[in-house]
Structure 1
Amino acid sequence: MTELPQQESSEDAASGSELLEEVLREFAELDSAADPLRVELVTSEILGEWWEAGDDLAAELIEFAAEAPEPERLVAPLAALRSLAPTEEQREAAGLALDKLGLGEPDWARALNQVQVGECWRTSDVYGDETSVLCVFGEGESAHGLLVSIGYALFGGWADEAVIVESPAEVISEMQSQAAESGNLVTCEPITPGRAHQLLADAFVGTELQTEPEVTDDYVRFRALAMARTRSLPEPEPVDPPRVLSAEEEAETIDEFFRAALDLEDTEAARVCALRLIEFGMEHDPRTPLRVGPDKLASFVDLVDDGAIELTDEQDEVLDAVLPAWARWGAQRDSLPADAVEPLIEAVEDRIYERSLETESSLDAYLEDAEDLDEQAAAAVLERRQFAIPSVYTEIAGEEVELDPSDPEQRRLLVIGEHPDFQDSLAEDDLDEESFLRLAAHTTLVDQLWDDEPAEVWQAAQRLLTRGLQRTEVIAQLAAALEERLETGEGDGLEFDLDDYLRALEELG
């Protein structure tokens, strides 16, 4: 008998049926004369719950319509999905399913997202890090607005908050007041609906491209309606394409930066930091890759600390000097107002200071039992232990965690973090023998390096590093030498012959 893969369990099926039944009940409470905006809000909230949970129940509901025992109960949700489902494919499928039912629709069905577009406004900070867009729909007392917050520090711009507001005129007044009270740090201006469409559509794409975007509860609730309102705007205005710097242009930009940054030493390490800043800008701020802003530069530091942007130790050390100089040069290059420059520099220096505190905190864990050592001896301990455990941060089961390497159990988790391919098997307790031995060897090796016992392990590592091998290559060779000698001992524990192991280490490098 051929086994069908990943069959849905009866429990999952029941859960899905219950959710669909709950949706049908909610729509049954909406009579034919319900206010279209109320229907849109109910639908958007339901779609938001599905989106947040990672479930595509909209597709299931559409498929269910073909064989539903009570098809009249499907008319209202299908009519709502025809207008508000986030994807064009689902909207078309909902419309086709509704046509096949051939039943009368509620009075509100054809009024969904049929709105009169009014004025559109935009506020922005002077750096270009943050923007809020307000679009007004309808007139008079029945008017409502869509307010979306967009950040441009990462992902080319993405929306993290969206809300439907009842009194758009009051929001416009607040936006204008905020700009007036900010001096030169915030601008507020009317924009065309086509420009608003372009800004919002791009921002929603930036959010959807992320696996787990950090958005507000309001974004989840109003997401589907916000996207629908965006589709009701006139065609988006064209914008400049992303700016791609050639290698020659990157080199010229770096030269220009160092000519302007007179107090910054022009070293290879500093130039690499400048290059990484340019590369970061082209990836995450492609239309204005050289723009500087507090949020954008803080995001760059975050990615460096997370390991997403790789710097050597030497490059990392000079970053503290490069970053403020880059911010000041960029501010001058972009002709930022004078009263915007100092807040920018202060924000960058504050982030560097926070980073130094984070570094000191992690160093304490590496040197917890080395308080009585002199500076040279402490530096040697730090070098060895940071080779064993390069970072106190790792990712376990999709979650980033900070751990204490001085604690043996947490140190083991840091090793496991270096083996994401083993994590599912470990969680299900079905790790195969080969993988178990490999992980056991790596874990034991790290403990040996941490304690410097036997000292021959670190000596062998240093010889391999001198030959030009990278850390991962050195760890692999050392762990392999240990793994080959691991044997099952009493109580299913693992043992190895120390003398044989030391001879193998001596042969390395």
Structure 2
Amino acid sequence: MNRRHRRLPPDIPPPDDIFAEMLLASRELLALRSPLDAELMVSDMIGAWWGRRLHGGDVEQILGEGLVDYAAKAGTPAALTLLIAMAYLGTSRQAAKAEGAALALMESGVARPRWADRVGAVKPMGCYVSRDAYGDQDTVVCTFSYRVPDGQGGEREEDHHALVVVVDYNMRGMARDAWVSSQVDKLLEQASAEARDNPMLLFEELEPQQARALLESAMKATLESVGRKGPPPVSESYGTYHAFARARIKALPPGRKRPAPLHSEAPYSRERRAMLAAEFLASDAAEHLSDPSAASRCADHIIDYGCEQDFGRPLRVSPTKCETFMLDWLPRKVMLSPAEQEAVPYVLSAWARFASKRTALPEEGLRATLDAIWEATARFAEAYRDPSSFGLDRELVERLLPDGDLSALARRAFAFPLLQGRHGDVVLDELDPADDADRRTLLEIDHIDERHRPDYQEHLAWHEEIAKRLWEGDPPEMWEAAQRLLDLGHDRHDVLHVLIEIAERIGDDPDELAAALDDIADIPDAPPL
């Protein structure tokens, strides 16, 4: 069952008529015979707001708990069926409220559906994982059956079904897709046959404890993607099955660590990274590289990317991973010299040959990876923008980026706009914005017109706090909020004062600070600080 209900606007809490529409749709629950159909229908309904964000509150609290309260007040049989399902499928707060409301309605004599006692009464049957040889993704299959009394003091199993979740390691290990199938035997047989016929696929049984740990981690990573720029990068159906998947995962036994992704190794220390780079540069795969210095620095970037962005897997190569490295991560994160820019595709191709032997990647996988690198080469030249090509002095850029993190350039330039020239006896070109003492001098010069303030020292200290946070990108919501306000045409100093006001009001709670910054849509009409 895959019903579609009215989707909710992202920023405006729905009026009661939206809740009424959902309650009207819940009448269909009364006619169902299968608890599986009921759970899937309600999962689809409450998936209407999954991935949405609301200014001023949590969407699950405002909409999810609001729906529970609305159903509790309605007190109809349809409302009771909805509450029974939400007691199993909802968040912990929604489930507790729904269970209490459902018990109250049943005690008052409201009729409940025939399937009510069987909601969530499932038994895990088996768990499996299908992995591609690249290590790009895992497709996890968890099978369940409902436990039904057999009338003789025992139980029988009914409604065998499978939850399928795709975990994408090129997207921070998040759950990217999910669905449910009732054709379990056919699903498992097909996955097993594909693995037998295709050397690029692996299919194996997974301990239920491991499956739970893996899926909990993946769904957490997906939830953390909500609120970043743009919609969450998941399939259109993910929201439909999210609540169902969350509930089924809790039916699996806990107690194991998440299984390591394919090609994972022991953690790479700095010394081990350096040894790996040396092994590569001394290998046959790297013998044709003509610029050893550029090759060495490029190899360091490849290894760092694999260790820090790919679950500690520098030796893993795939078409998608290499394209992401060239077209997304490098242009955002690393300041390359012209020689390094030219060397990137050659070094990455040599690395693919070197690494594929270490991971036993099939030859067809290596060929596809090399093809992807060369197809991305022309786009890399377009995607990578050397800061000096924008007219920025390279020495200035290096002062702002001592760590080489290109993604920090804009926010650090915003925090420290005065870095060149002279101010009295002070030579700005000699001040280091990464040094605490020099940073304070730069901020004093930037705020020289505010020295008349009676609270100048305290106010300057807050500017230092904001500048430090912008320099480090902590929290990332601070720079995102500043950009929104700048895009609306607000003055830089007014934007800084708003950030100070929020940081001063919220205090040290990082979650509350991030939420408050997220809620900034404009500067309110108020006297300036």
Query: Structures share a fold, TM > 0.5?
Result: yes
CA positional deviation for 1:58: 0.9
What is the rounded CA distance, in whole Å, between the counterparts of 1:311 and 1:145 in structure 2?
A: 48
What is the match of residue 259 of structure 1? 282
What is the rounded CA distance, in whole Å, between the counterparts of 1:209 and 1:353 in structure 2?
A: 33
What is the match of residue 125 of structure 1? 132
Would the alpha carbon gap of residues 38 and 306 (structure 1) be closer, same or farther in structure 2, given more than 3 Å must change?
Answer: farther
What is the match of residue 86 of structure 2? 81
Which of 218, 238, 255 in structure 2 is aligned with 1:203?
218
What is the rounded CA distance, in whole Å, between the counterparts of 1:170 and 1:316 in structure 2?
A: 49
Map 1:465-476 to 2 at 5 A: none
What is the rounded CA distance, in whole Å, between the counterparts of 1:65 and 1:27 in structure 2?
A: 10
What is the match of residue 416 of structure 2? none
Question: Are the counterparts in 1 of residues 322 and 372 from structure 2 also a CA contact under 8 Å?
Answer: no
Which of 306, 313, 336 in structure 2 is aligned with 1:288?
313
CA positional deviation for 1:262: 2.3
What is the rounded CA distance, in whole Å, between the counterparts of 2:255 and 2:158 in structure 1?
A: 28
What is the match of residue 64 of structure 2? 58
What is the match of residue 158 of structure 1? 174
Question: Are the counterparts in 1 of residues 19 and 70 from structure 2 also a CA contact under 8 Å?
Answer: no
Question: Are the counterparts in 2 of residues 24 and 74 from structure 1 also a CA contact under 8 Å?
Answer: yes
CA positional deviation for 1:354: 4.1
The amino acid of 1:148's aligned partner reads V
What is the rounded CA distance, in whole Å, between the counterparts of 1:128 and 1:93 in structure 2?
A: 41
Q: Is the counterpart of residue 298 in structure 1 residue 303 in structure 2?
A: no
What is the match of residue 123 of structure 2? 116
What is the match of residue 326 of structure 1? 351
Would the alpha carbon gap of residues 97 and 309 (structure 1) be closer, same or farther in structure 2, given more than 3 Å must change?
Answer: farther
Q: Is the counterpart of residue 216 in structure 1 residue 223 in structure 2?
A: no
What is the rounded CA distance, in whole Å, between the counterparts of 2:320 and 2:86 in structure 1?
A: 37
The amino acid of 2:161's aligned partner reads H
The amino acid of 1:245's aligned partner reads Y
Would the alpha carbon gap of residues 306 and 109 (structure 1) be closer, same or farther in structure 2, given more than 3 Å must change?
Answer: farther
What is the rounded CA distance, in whole Å, between the counterparts of 2:348 and 2:390 in structure 1?
A: 28
Residues 92-128 of structure 1: CA deviation (Å, up to 9, x unaligned): 3433443455445443233222223223332211121
What is the match of residue 368 of structure 1? none
**Which range moved further: 134-143 or 324-333?**
134-143
CA positional deviation for 1:172: 1.8
Would the alpha carbon gap of residues 73 and 299 (structure 1) be closer, same or farther in structure 2, given more than 3 Å must change?
Answer: same
Map 1:483-502 to 2 at 5 A: none
Residues 242-282 of structure 1: CA deviation (Å, up to 9, x unaligned): 95422222222211221222223464433332222233223
CA positional deviation for 1:148: 1.7
What is the match of residue 405 of structure 1? none
Question: Are the counterparts in 2 of residues 131 and 149 from structure 1 also a CA contact under 8 Å?
Answer: yes
What is the match of residue 95 of structure 1? 99
Residues 291-318 of structure 1: CA deviation (Å, up to 9, x unaligned): 2222222222232355144434443322
What is the match of residue 27 of structure 2? 28
What is the rounded CA distance, in whole Å, between the counterparts of 1:158 and 1:353 in structure 2?
A: 30
Would the alpha carbon gap of residues 349 and 76 (structure 1) be closer, same or farther in structure 2, given more than 3 Å must change?
Answer: same
Percent of residue pairs bearing the same amino acid type: 27
Q: Is the counterpart of residue 189 in structure 1 residue 214 in structure 2?
A: no
Question: Are the counterparts in 2 of residues 154 and 299 from structure 1 also a CA contact under 8 Å?
Answer: no
Q: Is the counterpart of residue 249 in structure 1 residue 272 in structure 2?
A: yes
**SS across alignment from 1:162:** strand
**SS across alignment from 2:288:** coil
Question: Are the counterparts in 2 of residues 149 and 161 from structure 1 also a CA contact under 8 Å?
Answer: yes
The amino acid of 1:132's aligned partner reads T
Map 1:104-503 to 2 at 5 A: 105-138=112-145, 142-155=159-172, 157-182=173-198, 184-211=199-226, 212-235=231-254, 237-239=256-258, 243-260=266-283, 261-265=286-290, 267-304=292-329, 306-356=331-381, 358=382, 387=392, 424-425=484-485, 431-432=490-491
Q: Please identify the structure whose Cα radius of gyration is greater.
A: 1
What is the rounded CA distance, in whole Å, between the counterparts of 1:189 and 1:134 in structure 2?
A: 10
Would the alpha carbon gap of residues 309 and 209 (structure 1) be closer, same or farther in structure 2, given more than 3 Å must change?
Answer: farther
What is the rounded CA distance, in whole Å, between the counterparts of 2:370 and 2:484 in structure 1?
A: 44
CA positional deviation for 1:387: 4.5
What is the match of residue 459 of structure 1? none
Would the alpha carbon gap of residues 41 and 359 (structure 1) be closer, same or farther in structure 2, given more than 3 Å must change?
Answer: closer
Please report the RMSD computed on the Cα atoms of aligned residues, expressed in angstroms.
3.7
| TM-score calculated relative to the size of structure 2 | 0.62
What is the rounded CA distance, in whole Å, between the counterparts of 2:121 and 2:96 in structure 1?
A: 17
What is the rounded CA distance, in whole Å, between the counterparts of 2:131 and 2:323 in structure 1?
A: 18
What is the rounded CA distance, in whole Å, between the counterparts of 2:174 and 2:493 in structure 1?
A: 44
Would the alpha carbon gap of residues 88 and 267 (structure 1) be closer, same or farther in structure 2, given more than 3 Å must change?
Answer: farther
What is the match of residue 45 of structure 1? 44
CA positional deviation for 1:51: 0.6
What is the rounded CA distance, in whole Å, between the counterparts of 1:160 and 1:198 in structure 2?
A: 16
User: Which structure 1 segments of 5+ residues have no match?
Assistant: 1-10, 364-381, 395-418, 437-509
CA positional deviation for 1:342: 2.6
CA positional deviation for 1:386: 5.8
**SS across alignment from 1:31:** helix
What is the match of residue 415 of structure 2? none
Residues 169-221 of structure 1: CA deviation (Å, up to 9, x unaligned): 22222212322332x21122233323322332222222122133211122221
Would the alpha carbon gap of residues 386 and 320 (structure 1) be closer, same or farther in structure 2, given more than 3 Å must change?
Answer: farther
Would the alpha carbon gap of residues 386 and 151 (structure 1) be closer, same or farther in structure 2, given more than 3 Å must change?
Answer: farther
CA positional deviation for 1:61: 2.5
What is the match of residue 17 of structure 2? 18
